Chains A and B, each alone.
Chain A
Amino acid sequence: MGCFKAIDRSQLVVLAKTKKTNEIKNGNGYHYRLLFYEVIMIQRSTLLLSILFIASFGVCSAQIQAIELEHDKGTLVIKKTPSRIVVLAFSFADALAIADVSPVGIADDGDINKLIPSVRSRIGTWQSVGSRYQPSLEAISSLKPDLIIADSGRHQSIYNDLMAIAPTLMFKSQGVTYRENLQITQKIAKAVNKVDLVNSRLEEHFQLMGRLKAKFKSNDTFQFAVISDKGMWAHSPDSYAGSVIAELGLNSPIDSKNKNAYISTGFEQFIKLNPDWLFVGKYTNRTVLDKWKESPLWKLLKINKSKQLISVPINEWSLASGVLSAEKIALEIESQIQP
């Protein structure tokens, strides 16, 4: 009987989630969030019961229910909750971190510091499976994973190989926006059978984002860009950091007609953007900004007068693209606006 009730409850959540997805498609984020809180409230009222059910029947329901998951390459059926997961992009590591699941392998470019500290502290040790551009298939295979989560852009050409190693989910990671990633995060939560945990963590996340959005009442324009000695790439509201800034109700200096996520920006184009705030993530120590600063035109820029040029960690703002990194971005903006 307990089993039945547990399934009933999960069906309720699934029902609410389908509704929620429709809301997202309508582009109505506010309703989406209201509904989300409603679901959480229902869940809370039955919290004690749920804990009891999960404790006694969680394992049994995990084995009985096969999960069907839609991803970018169709539908994947997951029969058993996966325990050895390999992720080939940082945003998926973030999603697993909030689900309290440690991946056994991450394509981390051979450098553990590329993962942001808030993700690293939540997951155990992992093995590197090479670079995100060319993850090593033999390294992945030798970890004997039971689930692989790969970037549907970068890893499209090795999808068949990955499927030969283990069931593979393909989601967007590079160029993903804040809202797209929320949906992906929930799908990953479903795949690892941690929907409740992730939902309660997301509730916390929405509260933080909501609080900051209410707090930031600014007409200034905010821009994030990555810079190196080769040039500057402005991240538009269609990029991850850009969409987080937009989510916080802050303005972008980039024309809304622009649909590119990353815009290669020269000095002249930058003068035209002329943002009130510029957050930069540096790939190299010396950057084009050092050269631009010597130009007399630099004095005309708003950031020169206001000194609102802030250097930020590039892995949090550009590489991570996850829920935890969105919080880092939001908190960094908060600390800068009101010191």
Chain B
Amino acid sequence: MSRYNKILAISFVLLIILSVISLSLGVKSLTLETVFNTVINGGDEDFIINQYRLPRIIISILVGIGLAVSGVLTQGIIRNPLASPDLMGISGGAGLFACSSLLIWPEVHSALLPLIAILGGFSAAFLIWLLNHFNHPSPARLALVGIAVSAFLTSCINFILVLHPVEMNSAMIWLTGSLWGRNWDYIWPLLPWLIILVPFSFYLAWSLDLSALGEETATSLGVNTECLQVLALSSAVALASVSVAVCGTIGFVGLLAPHLARLLVGPRHKLILPIAALTGALLVLSADTLSRNLAPPLEMPAGVLTAVLGAPYFIFLLYRYKGW
């Protein structure tokens, strides 16, 4: 077994183990035997296991995959280690649209929310594109533009929250990123997007490797770079937006997961993508499991926990790449 396959297998096994642990731990901790029986036969704990913990675990995994793949695509195209959907303002745009629609139109159907969020994500991306259109900035400046847009969108969200103070606390929790109250109903709006976009990003992996050699070299090797940029960034925006629509802006997963994957398996996208997806799933799932189990029955927003890991790493990156 090659080293790569070993890493892949280990992360996969870790994910399964963590899922089982997450299924058995909670306000009411259950034995593994009860967990397996309930998953297969239902019974007394049917609600806790099958209607509550299981859908949350599956959503954590899906959201983690979505955010991580989105991060790989963004970093691959922008060729900037600081680039990620949340730092670039994509999550902010999706969050702004989803949050305003929730406050203005609380009855909104959960299947519509991803579409609204995607609209918000693309609006933010368009804004960044517009700002970069006139002067082609260096990667470091591009990251700064993204951070500025992100800050602007956050201020818009705050403004809307001030206008609707009664709902503020719930909206705040949602914005920090939380899987509270997420059940099977939220999986169906999320799943089709992932089923289409994750394999599609694998299809783009080879071109992404070439574009890492520089735009001119990639073009001479037969990559339509402009087309690749549009396709990859659109997929990244859509993936990040649907994730945000389902569980708010869980930060830093899109930044951390690709970096960890690159550290483990090197720079080739075909190799990075599966590992990053698994790492992202592991990150969100462990954040959610911790958020339920740190001080039960109180819950902590999972986004707080990913930020505890992610923020120091971001500072480390800024420090390490200070040369440019």
Contact = CB atoms under 8 A, between A and B. Distances in A.
B298 interface: yes
Interface stretch (B143-151, B159-167, B216-224): B159-167
Contacts of B27: 136, 138-139, 142
Interface stretch (A96-104, A123-131, A190-198): A123-131
Contact of B166 (A109, A134, A138, A175): A175
Given A138-B52, A161-B183, A110 B297 contact: yes
A174 interface: yes
A139 B173 contact: no
Interface stretch (A151-159, A206-214, A248-256): A151-159
Is chain A's interface secondary structure helix, strand, loop, or mixed overall?
mixed
Interface in A125-172: 128-131, 133-139, 141-142, 153-154, 156-158, 160-161, 164-165
B297 A136 contact: yes
A224 to B, nearest CB: 16
Contacts of B106: 156
B9 interface: no
B299 A141 contact: no
Contacts of A133: 169-170, 173
B180 interface: yes
B53 A131 contact: no
B238 to A, nearest CB: 23
Interface residues of A, number: 31
B120 interface: no
Contacts of A160: 183, 185
B51 A110 contact: no
A261 B47 contact: no
A142 B28 contact: yes
A134 B47 contact: no
Interface in A83-123: 109-110
Given A128-B297, A139-B296, A261-B166, A134 B48 contact: no
A233 interface: yes
A262 B181 contact: no
A264 interface: yes
Contact of A134 (B28, B53, B167, B173): B173
Q: How large is the interface on B (under 10, 10 to 19, 20 to 34, 35 or more residues)?
A: 20 to 34
A160 B186 CA distance: 12
A142 B48 contact: yes
A130 B298 contact: yes
B162 to A, nearest CB: 7
Contacts of A233: 165
B297 A139 contact: yes
A142 B170 CA distance: 24
B74 interface: no
Contact of B48 (A129, A141, A175, A264): A141
Contacts of A130: 296-299
A137 B297 CA distance: 9
Most buried by A among B27, B165, B166, B167: B27
Contacts of B181: 134, 137, 157-158, 161
A109 B290 CA distance: 18
Interface of A: 109-110, 128-131, 133-139, 141-142, 153-154, 156-158, 160-161, 164-165, 174-175, 233, 260-262, 264
14 contacts: A109-B298, A130-B297, A133-B173, A136-B296, A136-B297, A137-B47, A137-B181, A138-B48, A138-B53, A139-B27, A139-B296, A154-B170, A157-B181, A164-B47
- A-B CB proximity, top 3 nearest: A136-B297, A139-B297, A130-B297
Given A139-B27, A142-B27, 6 more contacts: A128-B298, A130-B297, A138-B28, A141-B52, A142-B28, A153-B166
